[in-house]
Structures are given as structure tokens and as C-alpha cells.
Amino acid sequence: MPRWMIWSWRLALGAVLLVAFVGATDANERWAALQLKPDQVNHGLLSFGLTFLLLASFRRAKTWQVAAVVLGAGFGLEGLQALGYFAGDAQMKDLVSDVVGVAFAALPVAVGRSQGRRAAQEEAPSSQPGTGSATPL
């Protein structure tokens, strides 16, 4: 993948992170008019977007690690909301939406990477003597 494309993904990731941070810390809820209803839609879309953009931006990162980071951030945000540090209220439905958003982004990537590894292994010649396929002369 060209470097400019990877940096484009990273720029988009930065923009999404900025919007998410402003939305989470907006005590006056000036952004409320721009948010989708119900709030779980916002959580699901944000979790999907962050997972997708992280996987696209950092292609060597393991899928489960990216999923864990995004879910950790979502769970952390809900915890901070419960303690009153961020705007909004903590809800279990928000956490479920985070899990669904991450799953929709991470599962196809994980399956694709698994199939790519399997195909590469099938095409690679065996390193053990006598187990490779013989080519007729």
C-alpha cells in the first residue's frame, strides 16, 4: 500500500479522534444537535470507525490488539462518565454498541488475514525433505 494512503488513513483517524474527544468532553453539549439518536448509534459508529481506521493505519497491528484498545477506550469512557468526569451518563447499552461496532470492523479483517496466511502457507514449498510436491520432468 502506498505511503500516502497510509498517511491519509492516519489523518482521518486523527480527525475522528478529535471529534470524539470534543464530543465526550463537551459539558455544554453544543454538539448534541449533530449527534445521531439514540446515543448507541454514535457509540457503534465511532467504535467501528476507530477500529477500521486503526487497522488501516497500522497494518502490522494484530486485530485483537486493536479491538482491545478500542474496547478499553470505550469501557474507560463509560467509567469516567459514571464518575462524572465526562458529559453524558454511563449505560450498558453504550458498551454493547461499542462491542458491536468493533466486531463489525475487526471480524472481516481477522478472517481476511487468516485466509491470506492460509493461502500463503499452501503456496509456499515445504521445507521438510520428502514432503514437497514432486515436479515431473
Q: What is the DSSP string of 74-135?
A: HHHHHHHHHTTSSSS---HHHHHHHHHHHHHHHHHHHHHHHHHHHHHHHHSPPSSTTTSPPP
CB count in 10 Å sphere of residue 98:
26
- The residue among 81 and 97 whose pLDDT is bigger is 97
* The predicted structure's pLDDT at residue 30: 66
The sign of the torsion formed by the CA atoms of 83, 85, 90, 95 equals negative
C-alpha cell at 104: 463489525
pLDDT band for 1, please (50, 70, 90 cuts).
Answer: confident
* The predicted structure's pLDDT at residue 64: 94
pLDDT band for 95, please (50, 70, 90 cuts).
Answer: very high
The identity of residue 91, as a single letter, is Q
Average pLDDT (1-27) is: 85
For 77-90, b where at least 16 C-beta lie within 10 A, e where not — what string?
A: bbeebeeeebebeb
Q: Which of 74, 1, 76, 69 is nearest to 39 (CA)?
A: 74
Over the stretch 39-84, which tens digit does the pLDDT of each residue have?
788 889 999 999 999 999 998 999 999 999 999 999 998 898 889 8
DSSP 59: T
* The predicted structure's pLDDT at residue 132: 54
pLDDT band for 8, please (50, 70, 90 cuts).
Answer: very high
Task: Look up the pTM and report it.
Answer: 0.77
Question: HSE on the CB side for 115, CA within 13 Å?
Answer: 6
